Amino acid sequence: MPIVDAILMEMEQEAKTTRRVFERIPDDKLGWKPHAKSFTLGQLAMHIAGGQKQIAKMANDDVWEVGNFTVPEAKSRRELLETLDEGTSSAKHSLQQMDDEKLMSTWTLTKNGKTIMAVPRIGLIRSVMMNHFYHHRGQLSVYLRMLDVPVPSIYGPSADENPFA
C-alpha cells in the first residue's frame, strides 16, 4: 500500500471529527478569545479549516520560504464548514499526487534564504499538516468548554457526549 493511502484515510476520519466540533461553534461568539494573546474563536477555527490545504500546497514544493502569517476571522459557522470541506478536498488531491519517493524526499523551510528546517516531506505532513491541527482542534474544544458549549466526543467520551453509552 502506498504511504499516502494511510494519510488520506486518517484525513478523512479526522475531518469528520473536526466537522462535529465546528458544528458546535456559535456564530455570535466568533470574535471571542480567552486571552489577549490568543486567536479569536473565529481565527482559530479558520486556521484549522484552511490550514491543511496550505500545508499540502507547501509540501508540493521542495523549498518553502516563510512569509508573513495572518489568519482571517471567520464570518460564520457556515463559512468554516465550507472552508473545511474545500480545504480537506484540496489537501487530499495534493497528497494523491505524491508517490512514496516524493514523500520520503527532503522538504526545506527557509527564512530569508536561511534553512530553518529540512525534513522528509512525510515528516512535514505528519507533524505540521496532521498533528499541528489536531493540537489546534484540542484548543478549540477548550474554547467551547469555556463558552459553556457542549463539547462533542473527539477520541472518546467528553463530559457532554458519550458515544459508548
First to last CA, the chain: 35
Domains of the chain, with CATH numbers?
Answer: 3-146 (1.20.120.450)
Q: Say yes or no to pLDDT of 80 above 90.
A: yes
**Is the pLDDT assigned to residue 9 strictly greater than 90?**
yes
Element (H, E) at 119: strand 114-120
Handedness of CA 78, 82, 87, 89 (dihedral sign): positive
Distance CA 5, CA 103 (A): 12
The runs of H, that is alpha helices, within 61-152 are 77-96, 100-104, 121-124, 132-146
Please answer whether residues 56 and 132 qualify as being in contact, where contact means their C-beta atoms are separated by less than 8 angstroms: no
Whether the pLDDT of residue 165 is over 90: the answer is no
What average pLDDT does the segment 142-148 reach?
98
Residue owning grid cell 478569545: 33
* Percent of the chain residues topping a pLDDT of 90: 95
Average pLDDT, the chain: 95
pLDDT in tens, 21-68: 999 999 999 999 999 999 999 999 999 999 999 999 999 999 999 988
CA dihedral 59, 121, 38, 30 (to 10 degrees): 50
Report yes or no: 20 and 152 within 8 Å, Cβ to Cβ: yes
pTM, rounded to two decimals: 0.93
Q: Residue 69: what pLDDT? A: 79
